[in-house]
Amino acid sequence: MGFDIIGDVHGCLLELRALLSRLGYKIHDYRLQPPPGRQLVLVGDLVDRGPEIVGVLKLLMQAVADGTALCVQGNHDVRLMHVLGGAVPPPSTSLAASLRQLDTAPASFREQVHGFFQRLPSRLELDQGRLLVVHAGEFTTDDPELQAQFNIHGALTGRRDASGVRERVDWVRSYDGQAWVVYGHTTVLKAVWQGRTLNLDTGCVYGGHLTALRYPEQEVVSVPAARAYASSSRWAALIRSRELLESAPRLLPRPS
Ligand code: MN
């Protein structure tokens, strides 16, 4: 079995359909038909920030029910799950936008969404343990609750970086496991392997790309976002650093 693993979707249905089509999947009335011998895998964060939360959920909930897709819980999914289960919504514009979109769907659909997220695992070990899919990152510990917490949310260092963005614990540098780890959560401009880890969150909802890894081929496939649907200080800092890098040669004195 081959896997097509897709990064944070965040309600970007248009781009999800485009990427699935590039990967050879067909969709008939929200029913996903994978190419022979392939299974779709999502790194979580299906909801919040983007324009078509209901459509993304309809498609992927059906695919998971049919066994054509697998998915792990992302931090945004878990937060929405708690609110749909009756928790008081924390102040968040991205959560509020998801709730507004879900308000247009029947109450029974909101119950299905709640159950769907509850049943998702926090980690997926595939290809006989050679491939690990998590949302935020991997942390080796004997405490399964602590591990699930890290897999879904990652952790903050308590510091801020030079752009004022809250710094996240860099688990990639200390990861020394044998499994390939494919994840999302922290936006990057491009999906590049770092050791045995690959971050697929290329900021689609911010106007970046939606990215997939074809496994075991280890081929990265991306489609550009139709537009930016949301903004974030982390993404803005990435764009600024790229612009600085691109303008750097012009700042150097010309050779005489
Ligand atoms: Mn995300």
Q: What is the pLDDT of residues 20-64, one digit of tens each?
A: 999 999 999 999 999 999 999 999 999 999 999 999 999 999 999
Q: At what angle do helices 53-66 and 93-103 cross, to 10 degrees?
A: 70
pLDDT of residue 162: 84
Task: Give 201 Cα–ligand 1 centroid separation in angstroms.
Answer: 7
Residue 110 alpha carbon to ligand 1 centre in Å: 21
List the structure tokens of 174.
């200390």
Measured in Å, residue 75 CA sits from the centre of ligand 1 at 7
- How far does the centroid of ligand 1 lie from the alpha carbon of residue 218, in Å? 22
Return the SS3 of 211. strand
Q: How far is the CA of 69 from the centre of ligand 1 (A)?
A: 19
Q: Note the pLDDT of residue 253.
A: 66
CA–centroid distance, 49 to ligand 1, in Å, is 9
For residue 21, which of 2, 1, 37, 6 has the smallest C-alpha distance?
A: 6
CA of 45 from ligand 1 middle (Å) equals 5
The Å distance, Cα 193 to ligand 1 centre, comes to 19
Model pTM greater than 0.85? yes
Contacts of 141 (CB under 8 A, 6+ apart): 147, 150
- pLDDT score, position 248: 74
Question: Distance from the CA of 8 to the center of ligand 1, in angstroms?
Answer: 5
Determine the distance separating the centroid of ligand 1 and the alpha carbon of 252, expressed in angstroms: 37
Helices (H), 23-74: 53-66
Tell me the CA–centroid distance for residue 254 and ligand 1, in Å.
42
Q: Which residues of the chain have pLDDT under 70?
A: 249-256
| 81 CA to centre of ligand 1 in angstroms | 15
How far does the centroid of ligand 1 lie from the alpha carbon of residue 230, in Å?
A: 12
Dist. CA 108 → ligand 1 center (Å) = 26
**Per-residue model confidence (pLDDT) at position 165:** 86
Q: Residue 255 Cα, ligand 1 centroid: separation in angstroms?
A: 44
pLDDT of the residue at 77: 98
Handedness of CA 230, 236, 238, 244 (dihedral sign): positive
